[in-house]
Amino acid sequence: MYEMIDIVMQWLVAPIIVVVWVLFNKVTKNEKDIAVIQAQHESRSLHHDREMKEMKETIKAIFMKLDSIEQTLRNR
């Protein structure tokens, strides 16, 4: 009876425990990688939003300058 339990433990339970342990380690690593990628995405998104805001302000300033030039030329 004990030999049967020993065989089951050796050839069935022990490999299952090893597989579960390996999968757990992979999942943990993947969770960390996902967290890093999300943080990078948020950082890049904020940077992109700032750049877009700056571009809009620059374009607005250019159009205001063009409008003032146009007004000056019309008034001549």
pLDDT in tens, 43-74: 999 999 999 999 999 999 999 999 999 999 99
User: What whole-number distance in Å separates Cα of residue 5 and Cα of residue 71?
Assistant: 96
Q: What are the tokens at 31?
A: 């969770």
Q: Which amino acid is at 38?
A: Q
Task: Give the residue among 42, 18, 38 at the shortest CA–CA distance from 30.
Answer: 38
Supply the pTM of this predicted model.
Answer: 0.60
Q: Count of CB atoms within 10 A of residue 73's CB?
A: 8
